[in-house]
Structure 1
């Protein structure tokens, strides 16, 4: 019974939204009033959804990844590879219900991965990928709750000193690459050293991107095109190379493994995780050591923020030179 007689009057006790819905109670002096109020409440449920019980969200983490990829990720340059990583992450965590997924589940997954030898840098990247899935679904209206990874802090990575090649090492490397027997590897390497381009950006160049003393990089990590000047000699060398070996617009074939072999022949010891990227660091380091401007370097490298470029500032000849004359010992000696 939803209406019953009590000592104080006629009591209405109902859950108009169903067994899991909101329960309301109210007592009236007469049964007629109680019946009238009950009809009013039941009608109100049809108009105001908050009276109805909250439906359980049966979607899994992979469902949110699919939504993210369909509406956003498919437009990213690395969208497909990022989706594969995300699906593998979900599978490793047991593909939990998205509604029940919490930060501690990812923290536990992260710990197990690190115990298996995965780097903290890689885990920070995976965390950023999954956090972005929730953020994008929130923006699109596909996820109404908070992002469960918002408050989970990433690992703080100790910044490593950026390594670069000296002039003698560059000569040794180019000589070793000539012996590898790859038609394109030397030219790709020269482009990276002359422009600070990433290996993939240089390797995928088309002849139409080289003109008027400039190389126009289009397929970039930041998705922003940038143009970098090159010398007339290098431009002529690249055009002649294209005319000689390539019948298509594309200048080069894949030469990554040839570069690895060249590094081995040159007997160069590179920091862990750096292979072709040493060329980009070498360009930036020499640019600053020769008196280049940090803001110009930011534009050449295509960094979104100056924080990425400022790592090379200490190589500038004038970097923190005030320390020599403004320190207290120097001033004491002057006096």
Structure 2
């Protein structure tokens, strides 16, 4: 008898569940269908009129905001999608190719593996610390970490400018302390040894020109005769040769004038007699010197020929010019103009000089 009651009870329950299911299917639905100003259609179904009204009101406010401000903010956009959009619409074509490659490399290697799928609106200080730790775990130095974090800050600041964020959530994020970099430059004896042992080197004029002007590699490779003024005694620097070709600008996007000393004038006058190209320094066929080959293929080989124990980079010839300029009585503000630095802080690295000069300076004050 007890078993029969259980069966009847179970049957009644089953009928009740079936009835509830049928009622749910017959339940009234409320659809919200709104066309946004940018053309996107938003459609959603609710089972409560209250929920539908709330959603409709929210979408109408958002639609009006877009109409009033002209800004369409995708609140669900991920960091990866925003970074891709920013590169495509606000960086490519406006920044140098080297800068763009740097952004892409930092995104691919460090930033996107950590933050790529995080919604832009959710990024906070914790995410920045997580990224910092990730780069450190790759065995990178503090300088590299700071560069990666600067790229992240740049993207976040751009999101603020474009109204995707109200304010930067990582504003005030501190950089790691970097080890002081060693400034490499040649002594007068090393310069003389290099020049004496490379008298037959076809690029000797190129190297001496750099030592006497402090020009960047791209600036001297891109130097053309129309920028050399023998009457005025100066060189106009407003072009640069890169891996992508000749650009009518410099690294800092500012032109400058470099006065010729006697050695520079002699080099230029001699080369003018045998010029075969628009470029001051060119290949035998008149093409620009191969920008990417100078340091590894030619300059290092010339140093080994000279028997130098200290092998430096080509860019260190610029440091050599600047260091000797200061040691011979030059001042930082003039040097800033000659090197084309935008900020005097960059030029300040030459304020410390070689040991012999510092010893002499120490005797200026003696009680």
Query: Could you tell me which residue of structure 1 aligns to residue 127 of structure 2?
Result: 105
User: What is the rounded CA distance, in whole Å, between the counterparts of 2:360 and 2:345 in structure 1?
Assistant: 16
User: What is the rounded CA distance, in whole Å, between the counterparts of 2:85 and 2:165 in structure 1?
Assistant: 17
Query: Could you tell me which residue of structure 1 aligns to residue 281 of structure 2?
Result: 251
User: CA offsets per residue over residues 164-192 of structure 1, 9 Å max, x none?
Assistant: 2111101222345456x5x3x32232222
Query: Could you tell me which residue of structure 2 aligns to residue 60 of structure 1?
Result: 79
Matched ranges for 1:163-182 at <5 A:
163-178=184-199
Answering whether residue 137 of structure 2 is matched by residue 119 of structure 1, we say no
Answering whether residue 112 of structure 2 is matched by residue 74 of structure 1, we say no
User: What is the rounded CA distance, in whole Å, between the counterparts of 1:48 and 1:62 in structure 2?
Assistant: 23
Query: Could you tell me which residue of structure 2 aligns to residue 237 of structure 1?
Result: 267
Relative to the length of structure 2, the TM-score reads 0.65
1:319, CA displacement in angstroms? 9.1
1:200, CA displacement in angstroms? 2.3
Answering whether residue 300 of structure 2 is matched by residue 260 of structure 1, we say yes
User: What is the rounded CA distance, in whole Å, between the counterparts of 1:43 and 1:117 in structure 2?
Assistant: 51
Gaps of at least 5 residues in structure 1 are 1-12, 22-41, 331-335
Query: Could you tell me which residue of structure 1 aligns to residue 237 of structure 2?
Result: 217
Matched ranges for 1:1-335 at <5 A:
16-18=53-55, 56-72=75-91, 74-77=93-96, 78-88=98-108, 89-93=110-114, 95-97=116-118, 98-139=120-161, 141-178=162-199, 183=202, 185-212=203-230, 213-218=233-238, 219=240, 220-241=250-271, 244=274, 246-249=276-279, 251-252=281-282, 253-254=289-290, 255-257=294-296, 258-270=298-310, 275-315=313-353, 324-325=365-366, 330=367
C-alpha change, 1:269 and 1:43, in structure 2 (3 Å) is: closer
1:281, CA displacement in angstroms? 1.3
User: What is the rounded CA distance, in whole Å, between the counterparts of 1:103 and 1:265 in structure 2?
Assistant: 53
User: What is the rounded CA distance, in whole Å, between the counterparts of 2:211 and 2:319 in structure 1?
Assistant: 9
Relative to the length of structure 1, the TM-score reads 0.70
Gaps of at least 5 residues in structure 2 are 1-48, 67-72, 241-249, 283-288
1:284, CA displacement in angstroms? 1.1
User: What is the rounded CA distance, in whole Å, between the counterparts of 1:43 and 1:152 in structure 2?
Assistant: 37
1:123, CA displacement in angstroms? 2.1
1:287, CA displacement in angstroms? 0.8
User: CA offsets per residue over residues 205-259 of structure 1, 9 Å max, x none?
Assistant: 2222222322222232211111111124423423543653643446331222201
| Greater Rg over alpha carbons, structure | 2
1:45, CA displacement in angstroms? 9.2
User: Is the CA contact 1:303–1:309 (under 8 Å) kept in the aligned structure 2?
Assistant: yes
Q: Matched residue pairs, number?
A: 284
User: Is the CA contact 1:61–1:90 (under 8 Å) kept in the aligned structure 2?
Assistant: no
C-alpha change, 1:90 and 1:307, in structure 2 (3 Å) is: closer
RMSD: 3.5
User: CA offsets per residue over residues 97-151 of structure 1, 9 Å max, x none?
Assistant: 3233334334333334333332221221222122112223422x24223324323
